[in-house]
Chain A
Amino acid sequence: MDESSGLAFLGILLFLSGPIFYAIMYNRYRNIRERHYHESETPVQMNNLQVYDKLIHRQTRQSTNRITGANSTRVNGTLNPQRKFFG
């Protein structure tokens, strides 16, 4: 990102600063998105690890630094997660 587009990005961020402030404060008071992080907070021990990593090919000149369909951070076992913000 060069300097001028960086400034424009900051400008757009400033346009959103009212809603962003509202959302941050709303979350700080109501904490509706908070939950127990069972996937990382449950005591667990890993044993007998076997790993397999094989280079397949190199993709050059990709416009994004993420592979398609990356899903490793997905969590399925939450209790009816609610994403509502401005309720």
Chain B
Amino acid sequence: MTDEATIINTDSGRADGLNRCPSCGSTDILTQAGGRLQCQFCRNVFDAIAAMPPPTTAPILQVDEDSAAVAPPLETHHSGAADISTDASAQVTIKCQGCGAEVVVDTNETMTSRCHWCRQVLSIEHQMPNGAVPDILLPFYLSKEQARASIDQFVGQRSFFAHKQFKAEFTSENIVGVYFPYFVVDANAKSNLSGTAGHVVRTYTIGSNENRRTVYDIDIYQIGRNFDIEVSGLTVEASAERRNISNSQNTNNIINTIMPFDIQNAIPYNGNYLKGFTSERRDTNIDEIRNLANTQMYDIARTQANRTATKYDAGIRWENENLEATNVTWRSAYLPVWLYSYLEVKNGSQLLHYVAVNARTGETMGSVPIAKTRLFLVAAIIELIAIPLGIMLIVFGS
């Protein structure tokens, strides 16, 4: 699509280490229900936007000198969405500003760590080449208790055919708050679709006795739709593992289902929001999912076109679909999910079940292991009752 992109620097300008309460200076900060930060020492409630120091550098627009004469690049990449450097280490050594000790943080596992010596909380604040720090994030809006209630309800409504061992072991107590990595795509595009559409004008019966049948008169139209679309906040998983949906080994489709998020409320990355949660590091570059995002844009454009052609009750056959992007912006994001996991082991194979709650919208989806023998037996009983009834109806009907 494009080789050159305009880069917007979104790095916080903060150094890794102590990200303090603006009131008392403590680093023991947690997200409270509603998505605001609370100092665990002085109970001060605040938002990182207000607490953030003014950026040390204004956003830099890096324009390649050679391409300055030609048309500006189609794509804009925020710097947190930059390609992952293959030799970048996931280990970051932070020098604690409190006591001078060096603390190693494995960004595959966590973005925050307590200093072993002075017990203050250290966090990763600067963008690094391994994809661990995104441009933006959405704070956890739902508390753990709210998420537990949703999960309990979801599982409770699926109790009768749930696997016995699962029922015995289920507890929403150990759910974890996870920031999953996503790409967020905003795009403007010119869309053009054309095709053939049908509208049923008459439904009637022809023939007599044995040959009686229902037929339709259909008006056939040639149709075209030309429009601009402005897509804001298309989200795609930025983790190869999470994009892998294999129903025999994982239930990643569950996590996929709880999108969308209210991306319009996202805020610049700030390590304070990650305290108390886990996160998964981005392992995907824009090039790897540009095609997927592009295909999804086509789907969006087609859906928009369909909405302008609802009178065609006999269907539409789109024959030409064109989508020409005029500008595309890529950002990386951490989006908050409350996650319950359960590993089902059955004769050597394993299946990881999830129940997930979108920690912004509350949308809940899950996979509950089934007691298959029980379900089969009940289905068989229903079948045994239904067959004689079916025979009766068919005999009556003929």
Complex contact A67–B227 (CB within 8 A): no
Closest residue on chain A to residue B391 by CB atoms: A11
Interface residue from B245, B263, B378 paired with A21 (Cβ < 8 Å): B378
A31-B254, A46-B228 known; A15+B367 contact, CB < 8 A: no
Complex contact B221–A54 (CB within 8 A): yes
Shortest beta-carbon distance from A83 to chain B in Å: 9
CA distance in complex: A55, B223 (Å)? 9
Contacting B at CB under 8 A, from A46-73, are 46-73
Complex contact A48–B257 (CB within 8 A): no
Complex contact A39–B397 (CB within 8 A): no
Interface residue from B226, B264, B392 paired with A50 (Cβ < 8 Å): B226
The interface residues of chain B lying within 8 Å CB-to-CB of A43 are: 231-233, 260, 263-264
Complex contact B314–A50 (CB within 8 A): no
Complex contact B227–A50 (CB within 8 A): yes
Closest residue on chain B to residue A76 by CB atoms: B295
A2-B212, A48-B227, A67-B314 known; A42+B234 contact, CB < 8 A: yes
Closest residue on chain B to residue A2 by CB atoms: B212
CA distance in complex: A64, B213 (Å)? 11
Contacting A at CB under 8 A, from B162-193, are 162
Q: Is B229 an interface residue (CB 8 A)?
A: yes
Complex contact A30–B368 (CB within 8 A): yes
Number of A-B pairs whose CB atoms are under 8 Å?
270
CA distance in complex: A58, B83 (Å)? 55
Closest residue on chain B to residue A57 by CB atoms: B220
A25-B375, A66-B198, A75-B299 known; A14+B387 contact, CB < 8 A: yes
Closest residue on chain B to residue A8 by CB atoms: B397
A11-B394, A25-B161, A69-B317 known; A40+B303 contact, CB < 8 A: yes
Interface residue from A35, A53, A84 paired with B257 (Cβ < 8 Å): A35
Complex contact A35–B213 (CB within 8 A): no
Ordered by A's residue number, 21 sampled pairs between the chains whose C-beta atoms are within 8 Å are: A7-B397, A8-B398, A11-B389, A31-B254, A32-B251, A32-B253, A35-B253, A38-B234, A40-B303, A43-B233, A44-B304, A46-B227, A49-B308, A50-B226, A51-B308, A59-B218, A61-B206, A77-B293, A77-B297, A80-B246, A87-B247
Interface residues of B (CB under 8 A from A): 158, 161-162, 194, 196-198, 200-201, 203, 206, 212-235, 237, 243-248, 251-254, 256-260, 263-264, 292-293, 295-300, 302-306, 308-309, 313-318, 365-370, 375-376, 378-380, 382-384, 386-387, 389-394, 396-398
Across the A-B interface, give the 5 residue pairs with the lowest CB-CB distance, nearest first.
A18-B383, A70-B315, A7-B397, A14-B390, A11-B393
